[in-house]
Structure 1
Amino acid sequence: MKTQNTFPVLRSDRLVLREMRETDLELLTEYLGDYDVAKMLCSPPHPFSLEDGQQYLMRALSGDLNDEIHWAIEHEGQFCGCFKANYLNSYPGIGYWLGKPHWGKGFMSEAMRLVLTYLFQHRGLKTLQTGAFCCNPASLRVLQKAGFTIKKLRTNTCNARGGEELEEAFLMISSEQFSAAIDVDLPLEDKGLLQ
């Protein structure tokens, strides 16, 4: 796997995936404070306080780029949500969320393509894994559209639901599956996706 020393900013026609900033804190806290967002994620508590947001932001900004990357998803200069890639040196995985005002606009499919293209083509990863609660069909559609396949069902805890155990799909994708799903054949630099 290739190493990364500078933050990888990714761009599409509508989105910029950039390093998180302290100015994201207000919207980050508002969006993760929305129960409809938090109930589809494992970690965030509900209610989600400003202090929780500060801790989230601090973790995102302190990661080693060779093992963990936290992107802010931005549309027209506004923070919309987050996308992370973690455990890049062991069992690489992804996680993501969008604030409710940005649902249903295709942003996550667009961000997914940017991140997977970066991870597979620039970083040289061979496989990625993730999980999505089975009660979140929108997330499962985004993952399957990108080429992820469900490997098994399991349970995982949702802190926003008071630690409730929910059924979760465990999904994986290989670089070959991703290329076949979206027909990617050019390096990121040639597509203008990586700066």
Structure 2
Amino acid sequence: MIEPEIMPFPVLQGKRLVLRKLAPADLPAICEHLNNFEVTKNLSTQPHPFTAADGAAYVNAVTAEDPAQNITWAIEHEGAFCGNLRAKNLGGVPRLGYWLGQAHWGKGLMSEAVLNALHFLFEERKIALLQTGVFDGNPASLRILEKLGFVATGKSNHPCRARGDIFLEETELEMSSSHFTEIHATSG
């Protein structure tokens, strides 16, 4: 039996950061950042408190995925892990999600990380449309997405595991490949 070939993991080099595959060595930093309620309160699937077992399960799960379908990048700044960015369901209707450790907020790192990922997803992977969502209590994340050209398409409700699975209102956004090309043709 021939094993299906798994696509190589895409490593992206930015001006100040690297988007690379998560590694077991990232586990202590993942746990430190995600054990901060200020981070996890804005995520749908991560628990609070966030334990080493939660971190190990997460790293094992996402590093085993085929990058043809799901890509979870570690965001590395100045040689240290500081967050992650995930593009999932690349064979269907792709969806983007991300988080950044609180110590790294306000430095423009997530804007750079998302822009690098968008260039890859639209130009290399040739996706037509990318969707995402932001809990309404997270205006900084909404500003990042709007600044990069995402357009709000409506509202929905999603559970937040860190808040006891209560449903929170979320702004849904999307960006098409043509819109991305129109506004970011020369950036990168």
TM range (shorter): over 0.9
- Structure 2 length as normaliser, TM-score? 0.94
Q: Which aligned pairs between 1:1-195 and structure 2 lie closer than 5 A?
A: 5-184=7-186
Instruction: Please identify runs of 4+ aligned residues in structure 1 that moved more than 6 A.
Output: none
- What runs of 5+ residues in structure 1 fail to find an aligned partner? 186-190
- Secondary structure at 2:87 match in 1: strand
Amino acid at match of 1:94: L
Amino acid at match of 1:92: P
The size of the alignment, in residue pairs, is 184
CA distance in 2, matches of 1:143, 1:128: 12
- Secondary structure at 1:153 match in 2: strand
- Secondary structure at 1:117 match in 2: helix
- Secondary structure at 2:47 match in 1: coil
State whether residues 145 and 181 of structure 1, in contact with CA within 8 Å, keep that contact through their aligned partners in structure 2: no
Bigger RCO of structures 1 and 2 (CA < 8 A, at least 6 apart): 1
Tell me the C-alpha RMSD between the 2 structures. Answer: 1.4
Deviation (angstroms), 1:86? 0.5
Per-residue deviation, residues 30-53 of structure 1 (Å, max 9, x unmatched): 101100000000000111110000
Per-residue deviation, residues 62-118 of structure 1 (Å, max 9, x unmatched): 101110011000001000000011000011111100001100000000001100000
Deviation (angstroms), 1:164? 1.2
Identity %: 45
Per-residue deviation, residues 99-154 of structure 1 (Å, max 9, x unmatched): 01100000000001100000000001010001100110010011111111110011
- Structure 1 length as normaliser, TM-score? 0.91
- What runs of 5+ residues in structure 2 fail to find an aligned partner? none
- Secondary structure at 1:110 match in 2: helix
